[in-house]
Chain A
């Protein structure tokens, strides 16, 4: 008997995060900071071009830490300035944390 591919654990702690799921989480959150709709934020455009200031970038870092239980460099949103770059970096960070936990 094979396990259906859709049968994933539901708790956030054990969810396998993908670049897609993280991109969508980030777009939703950044939209709140910018007071825009998530669909207006292109994943490959630097967030600073939408007016995400350095203060908001620090706050965003705190949000990510809270929701994903990660500890990040406060400059993470400066070094990974687009949704694509940030999602890619977070997937790696989460993978590292999970492999350490095993």
Chain B
């Protein structure tokens, strides 16, 4: 197994540590080929989801879910690949060099099973992001070794009484000579019973405010078993294979070397590492919608009603095209979010919050739209449509966790008036590389993420595009008209943001502030769609270069904003519908990558 080219860079192998290659065509090709090879290898190993003999088939994954377990074959597959290496930076012997590539890999897992993606890996990645951001060399090395050895790491922020208001958390690490004494509980923690280490968000000072917490990376083996216990397992509505429990510490000593970063840096560190995880995780979950859309297309082309196939019923066909467009919108925003971490790290706080707010919400809404086409089958837990129902149950978990929708809006709200004053209609546009899914990037600048920014290059890209849009075909004219509407929306956002009262810029803001954050997130999604289309126009993917999808996607976003844009040229709908069918028959993914799928 170790000679497999897909698992290079494991301990014991020589990892080149020279300077990153200058981003250029050769580097683009090399990174892109490597990413495609890894994705294809993973997809091949997962195999045909319809084959009953495949232990990773939909039926087996459903059976594991019914039993409240992660798929044993799925865990084995990821163990064999040392999949944890995806979460470890290349400089530490892993395979993490680009956040968008991590999303691409994880999407193949989420495509099959959200619980496996979350339970096997994501919480380890969230815990690790703290250490990559602020850990000492020794902590980084140790965590890399644990992960590359296949161990799980739990991320323990949550305390039920405080929800996302983690500044009020009570779990204490009381300073004592040489270290800390841990006291209290962490609840609903994934893999708490089995993880080799825990990333613990802990109160290190009695004072109120945002300088009273620190993050500790504590290994299970360091703990006095008399003073530490694992709480009973929680049973959730979705992701039923995930082993969610909790931790209870009773005056349990740990050494000072467990602290990640400076004393009192916990909130700041959390907000910085959240930018990485918030940007990345929603994009992974797009895989679940991708599979669900394929399931419903199969149903629609196969089933006869009123003497025609469901696909020939206009409402059903429009719903499927709409779901495909939503998927492309989500992927455009997720792409920009992950690439911004590399290219615009000081602007990422707002983009990451917009991704984490809007993408899970759109995925959940779109699953509901699709369920209407499936009709009664949507209610069945087993067989061909059982996996669809499982994805419906599992996806909402993404809107929970450490950054609920409201918490993400609350990250955006205090920045709106600053952006309105300083950024909108004045700043420089983003580099084109922000919008190119296959262009090379250099490593993740963990140390450059900022808590707030006075710039918004993504919005500036839409503003700058206005004077430079093609206007030859009806589809291009439609894009142009919709972009003008979006420009009006930004003007309106600016006006409304400048008139927010102080109370409306706190966590207790009125619903209208939250609505403003929602409109801004939708606007950013429109800017992402426009950027992806414009960047695709100079070659490569002929579908992404076609104005038809861009016009149709912007049209959907305009309607989401409550606008009533003019009808699209009829050819737009036809082009999108044709692509829905092509990708179904050719077994290609519905996201920006048009990836060949197994089976």
Q: Which residues of A contact B (CB under 8 A)?
A: 29, 32-33, 35, 46-49, 52-59, 61-63, 65-66, 71, 74-75, 78-79, 81
Listed A/B pairs (24) with beta-carbon separation below 8 Å? A32-B502, A33-B503, A35-B503, A52-B506, A53-B165, A54-B167, A54-B267, A55-B410, A55-B411, A55-B505, A55-B507, A55-B509, A56-B414, A56-B502, A58-B451, A62-B415, A66-B417, A71-B454, A74-B452, A75-B268, A75-B451, A78-B211, A79-B211, A81-B211
Tell me whether B442 is interfacial, beta carbon within 8 Å. no
The answer on a CB contact under 8 Å between A66 and B207 is no
A63 proximity list for chain B (CB < 8 A): 502
CB of B506 within 8 A of CB of A55, answer yes
> How far is A66 from B505 in the complex, measured between Cα atoms in Å?
15
- B210-A59 in contact (CB<8A): no
User: Which residue of the partner chain, among B165, B210, B506, B509, contacts A78 with CB atoms under 8 Å?
Assistant: B210
Interface residue range, chain B: 20 to 34
User: CB within 8 A of A58: which of B209, B414, B450?
Assistant: B414
Q: Mark B498-520, 1 if CB is under 8 A from A, else 0.
A: 00011101111100000000000
User: What is the distance, in angstroms, from A63's C-beta to the closest C-beta of chain B?
Assistant: 7
**Contact A74–B451 (Cβ < 8 Å):** yes
Give the Cβ gap from B531 to chain A, nearest Cβ, in Å: 26
Query: Quick check: B210 and A48 within 8 Å, CB to CB?
Result: yes
**Contact between chains at A53 and B167 (CB < 8 Å):** yes
Say how far B343's CB is from chain A's closest CB, in angstroms: 21
List 14 additional contacts besides A54-B167, A57-B210, A59-B413; criterion CB under 8 Å.
A32-B503, A53-B507, A53-B508, A54-B507, A55-B505, A55-B507, A55-B509, A59-B502, A59-B505, A62-B417, A66-B417, A66-B421, A75-B268, A78-B210
CB within 8 Å of A: which of B416-455?
Answer: 417-418, 421, 450-452, 454
Q: Is the CB of A78 within 8 A of B501?
A: no
**B208: interface (CB < 8 Å):** yes
Do the beta carbons of A56 and B208 come within 8 Å of each other?
no
Binding site for A on B (CB under 8 A): 165, 167, 207-211, 267-268, 410-411, 413-415, 417-418, 421, 450-452, 454, 501-503, 505-509
* A56 with B507: CB separation less than 8 A: yes
- What's the Cα separation between A69 and B530 when bound, in Å? 34
Contacts of B451 in A (CB 8 A): 58, 74-75
Whole-angstrom distance between the alpha carbons of A54 and B212 in the complex? 12
Given A29-B502, A54-B267, A74-B451, answer yes or no on A81-B209 (Cβ-Cβ < 8 Å): yes
Chain B residues contacting A48 (CB-CB under 8 Å) are: 167, 207-210
Select from chain A the residue with minimum beta-carbon distance to B264: A78
List the B residue with the shortest CB-CB distance to A30: B502
Q: Is the CB of A55 within 8 A of B413?
A: yes
Report, nearest first, the 9 A-B pairs whose CB atoms are least far apart. Answer: A48-B208, A48-B209, A59-B505, A56-B506, A58-B414, A74-B452, A32-B502, A59-B414, A78-B210
Please report the C-alpha to C-alpha distance between residue A48 and residue B418 in the assembled complex, in whole angstroms: 22
Given contacts A75-B268, A75-B451, contact A33 B502 (CB under 8 A): yes
Report chain A residues within 8 Å CB of B210: 48, 54, 57, 75, 78
Name the B residues within 8 Å of A56 (CB-CB): 414, 502, 505-507
Give the residues in chain A near B208, CB-CB below 8 Å.
46, 48-49
Residues of A within 8 A of B209 (CB): 46-48, 78, 81
Judge whether B417 and A59 touch: CB under 8 Å.
yes
Given A33-B502, A56-B414, A56-B505: A78 touches B267 (CB 8 Å cut-off)? yes
State in angstroms the CA–CA spacing of A15 and B80 once bound together: 68
Residues of chain B within 8 A (CB-CB) of A58 are 414-415, 451-452
Chain A residue at minimum C-beta to C-beta distance from B451: A74
Chain A, residue nearest B349 (CB): A74
Hey, which chain A residues are within 8 Å of B421, CB to CB? 66
